Amino acid sequence: MMTLACRRPGTYDRVTAFLRGLLPDPNLDWCAYKSYEAIKEAVDDPQVWTSVVGRLCDLRDPQAYDLVGQLFEAGLIDETVIDPAGYRQAYRRTGPPVAFTDKPLHLVSRYKRSRPKR
């Protein structure tokens, strides 16, 4: 999705809106749930949230900035993957996202790179 948003600027708003839609409401009353399993049943997989936040930070979605900050404050993001300082730093960067390359990687090259070494 990040590649789509970067290569086709007309899709940026739709991609970032979709990603924001995967995140929980930071004002949700988490204390009302009696266990982690109850939370998982009530909302999307919490493990996805950190990945989504990472992509939104890479894309520097201005509409997500405050929401991501609230999710950190609510303790809903895995800070071993990205911490609040890293999120703020991501929004200060300029240029293309760190993981984005201008030149598409040929499918065969990608396959060869991902194969286990013998």
User: How many Cα atoms are found within 13 Å in the side-chain-facing hemisphere of 66?
Assistant: 2
Q: How many Å apart are CA 56 and CA 68, to the nearest integer?
A: 9
Q: How many Å apart are CA 86 and CA 27, to the nearest integer?
A: 23
Domain count, the chain: 1
Whole-model pTM above 0.85?
A: no
- Is there a contact between 33 and 74 (Cβ–Cβ < 8 Å)? no
Domain span at residue 83 reads: 2-114
In sign, the C-alpha dihedral spanning 67, 71, 77, 82 is positive
Tens place of pLDDT per residue across the chain (118 aa): 666 777 777 888 998 999 998 888 777 776 666 665 666 565 656 678 888 999 899 889 999 999 999 888 887 888 888 889 988 998 898 876 655 555 555 667 666 777 776 6
pLDDT of residue 66: 92
Of 23, 3, 26, 30, the C-alpha closest to 15 is 3
User: How many Cα atoms are found within 13 Å in the side-chain-facing hemisphere of 7?
Assistant: 9
